[in-house]
Every structure is written in C-alpha cells, then in structure tokens.
Amino acid sequence: MNPAMRLESIERRFVQGEQRLTILDKAEMTLMPGEMVALVAPSGAGKSTLLHIAGLLERPDGGEILIDGKPCGTMDDEKRTAMRRRSIGFVYQFHHLLPEFSALENVMLPQMIGGQTRAQASERARRLLDYMRVGQRATHRPAELSGGEQQRVAIARAVANSPHVLLADEPTGNLDPQTSAYVFEALTALVRQSGVAALIATHNHELASRMDRTVTLSGGLIVPHSFG
C-alpha cells in the first residue's frame, strides 16, 4: 500500500527581527491510508505550520511533500491548488463555513468547484450531512447552527471531494467537553468509513489517546509521543 502522504526532510524557519526560529528541521512523516494520527505539541511548537505545509497552503524552505506518491515540491501554484482541492481536506478550530450559504450549499460548493454537477453535489452533501447527523439542519446557515453542528458540517465539507488526506487543526478546540467528544466520534466514524488518512492537531490528550498513534514536534523533528 502506498502512503497517502509522505513528508521528506521538511525545513521551515522564520526570521523575526533578531530572532531566528527553526520550526521544522529535516522533519519526516508517513501517513498511511485509513490511519488516524494525533499531533500533540505545546503552543508555538509548529503544529499549524506543519499542517499548512502538509496541506500545500505554505511552501517549506526545504524538503518534499508527496501526496499519493506524487511529489508536490516543484509544482507551480496552479498545480498545487488543483492537488489540494482534489486530495486534501481541512478542518479548522473555527468552522470557516461561508456565512451566506446553507449547510447543504457549504458542502456542495467544493464538489461543484471540483467539477461535479449540482445534482451530484447535492446528493453527496445530503448523504454526508445525514452521516454527520446534521441532515435535519441542511437548510440552516452557519449562524443558525450550534458550535458542534457547525463543526460537523465543516467535517462533511472537508471530506466532500473524497480527499486522500484529512488535516485538522484543533477541530474540537472551541467546543465544550461533551460536544467535543460527540464531534470527535463523528469524525472518527467518517475517517474509518472513508479510509482517508487523517492528521489531527489537538491539545486534548484523551482524544489523542483514541487515535492510532500520537506524534509531537521536538527539535524540529516529528517524533512519536507517549503520554505520562
């Protein structure tokens, strides 16, 4: 089986005034299809930076990102955008849904941008919203949904184009513990059912311990993390 994503020798540095920060220093990681990996690291360690690089939103200073075996480092911006739309789904801490569109339309949009017809997009969006148990709220706009419902819609949108890699940055970070557990369960079920490879940054050790493995950032490297 080929890895869904492979990070090779990734480097990322920031210069801020006198300060030179090395966030990633020849960092390596392999994500296999269907694997659910927690990324746990202190604030400021570089979790978002890593997710942005893995998601082709930001270019590293060095190294290579392979999605489904295809190297993305030398792709121009247009090809990277196409690869991102086709192969990568994102979930953020705050849902980032488009406020003027309904839940259904929010899940339809990426599919229509990807070339699906309105009817195809609508059918899949309905199925995904039902699966996430927010089907009854399909016509609601984001402001008319609870925080947990917004996140479940955002997860449905992230997987709408059947990505091979799902990247999530604190997906339950702004939810109360009970809602957080509920949203996490729905996310896990979707990951298991779809076979997508998921890398999920979280501060929640309990949720992290329920994933297949946990990694952290140390000395610019991605290393296995164990609790305790």
Ligand X SMILES: Nc1ncnc2c1ncn2[C@@H]1O[C@H](COP(=O)(O)OP(=O)(O)OP(=O)(O)O)[C@@H](O)[C@H]1O
The footprint of ligand X (CB under 6 A) covers 14, 16, 21, 23, 41, 43-49
Q: Which CB, 149 or 169, lies closer to ligand X?
A: 169
Q: Which CB, 24 or 159, lies closer to ligand X?
A: 24
For residue 154, the minimal CB distance to ligand X (Å) is 18
For residue 49, the minimal CB distance to ligand X (Å) is 3
Q: Which CB, 21 or 98, lies closer to ligand X?
A: 21
Q: Which CB, 3 or 220, lies closer to ligand X?
A: 220
**Nearest partner of 153 among 98, 101, 88, 103, judged by Cα:** 103
For residue 43, the minimal CB distance to ligand X (Å) is 3
For residue 203, the minimal CB distance to ligand X (Å) is 7
Q: Which CB, 162 or 174, lies closer to ligand X?
A: 174
Tally Cβ neighbours within 10 Å of residue 100: 10
For residue 46, the minimal CB distance to ligand X (Å) is 4
